[in-house]
Amino acid sequence: MELPEHLKANRKRLGLSQEDVAHAIFVSRQTMSSWENGKTYPDVQSLMLLSRLFGVSIDELVKGDVVSMKEMVSKDAVVMERMAVGSVMLILMGIACMVGLNAVWKDPAPIPYMSTGSLAGIAAMVAFWIPSLVLSVRIERIKKSHDLVTYREISAFMDGEDIPEDSEALSRRNPWMSNLTKLICGAGIGLIIAFVLTLIVNALR
């Protein structure tokens, strides 16, 4: 990314400190420092204020960055989609194993009201749920490590397109995926608890 160098060069050209620039565009000095260090990227509104302050166009500020942004958004979106699908498939396979083993393996287990099949099913569900959880966590890490929301906004702005109003990078591309990945983390444990309670209630009848 070339923006950090452009920010530093323009700020020094005008003899301004990071705090001066931050105050002028209504952000904190820490935010300005983060931009100059390449840790985060300013949104479109901040870029407009920066271009006005420095007397340069937005195109000059982000020159060379837009192509990289588009490639990063496209690549990460595909990776996140595959991970989300993988998480769902793992949960479904865990459910199938849990229900199937309970149905076919009726031998009594050391735990009251539980069969060997039900215990094996719960173990299988946990075995599938853990990698599903790992995939969900990796999706969140990708979203945090790359400011996908900002990149998409800037890319749309530079292409003359409407800037998406929502703030979820995943929901912009696939509305179902953002909500789905948030539910996956709790779905596994919830299913296991519901399964165990059902077995206990049926045994007590």
Which residues in 156-165 are b (16+ Cβ under 10 Å) and which e? ebbeeeeeee
Q: Is the pLDDT of residue 49 over 50?
A: yes
Kindly report the CA angle at 151 between 149 and 146, in degrees rounded to 5?
70
d(CA 50, CA 6): 11
Average pLDDT over residues 2-16: 93
- Contacts (Cβ under 8 Å, ≥6 apart) of 12: none
Task: Provide the 3-class DSSP secondary structure of residue 25.
Answer: coil
pTM of the model: 0.56
User: Is residue 18 a contact partner of residue 33, using CB atoms and an 8 Å limit?
Assistant: yes
Nearest CA to 88 out of 188, 171, 194 is that of: 188
Per-residue model confidence as pLDDT tens digits over 101-158: 888 888 887 877 778 888 888 888 889 888 988 888 888 777 766 665 677 677 776 6
Q: What is the mean pLDDT of the chain?
A: 78
Task: Kindly indicate the confidence band of residue 161, based on its pLDDT and cuts at 50, 70 and 90.
Answer: low
> What is residue 22's predicted lDDT score, i.e. its pLDDT?
94
Task: Kindly indicate the confidence band of residue 162, based on its pLDDT and cuts at 50, 70 and 90.
Answer: low
Per-residue model confidence as pLDDT tens digits over 86-101: 888 888 898 888 888 8
d(CA 124, CA 126): 5
CA distances from 16 to 46, 50, 59 (A): 17, 12, 21
End-to-end CA distance of the chain: 66
Average pLDDT over residues 176-196: 62
- Two structure tokens written together for 44: 């479109």
d(CA 73, CA 99): 39
Q: Is the pLDDT of residue 9 over 90?
A: yes
Average pLDDT over residues 14-18: 95
> What is residue 125's predicted lDDT score, i.e. its pLDDT?
84
Task: Kindly indicate the confidence band of residue 166, based on its pLDDT and cuts at 50, 70 and 90.
Answer: very low
Nearest CA to 143 out of 97, 182, 184 is that of: 182
DSSP string, 38-58: TSS---HHHHHHHHHHHTS-H
> What is residue 173's predicted lDDT score, i.e. its pLDDT?
44
Task: Kindly indicate the confidence band of residue 186, based on its pLDDT and cuts at 50, 70 and 90.
Answer: low
Q: 179 versus 150: which is more confidently predicted?
A: 150
